[in-house]
Amino acid sequence: MNWFVNQDPGPLSEALYVHNIYVYDGNTLDMNLLNIYYDGLLVVEGTGQIINGVPQYIPEPAMISLLVLGWFALIRRRCNT
């Protein structure tokens, strides 16, 4: 992250995209109303905490495709029995 504003002035806030989020015991992640998106792990250990926002999980496209294909295979199998 940096301290520079990377967008035009307006009501929209900036976003941070990461793979994993680790908040170790005794630490605090202050999101300061920043949008944080992750596609891996969210680990909050012990007394660690996240304040002023909630990180949003975004599944990888391959995972979504796999779930859709599995759902279609299940429906097809049930229709054939």
Over residues 16-22, the mean pLDDT reads 92
Overall residue count recorded for the chain in this entry:
81
Would you say 53 and 31 are in contact if contact means Cβ atoms under 8 Å apart? yes
pLDDT higher than 60, residue 1:
no
List, for residues 25-71, the tens digit of each pLDDT value: 999 999 987 889 999 999 999 999 999 999 999 877 777 788 888 88
Q: pTM of this prediction? A: 0.61
Q: Under 8 Å CB-to-CB from 31, ≥6 apart: which residues? A: 50, 51, 52, 53, 54, 55
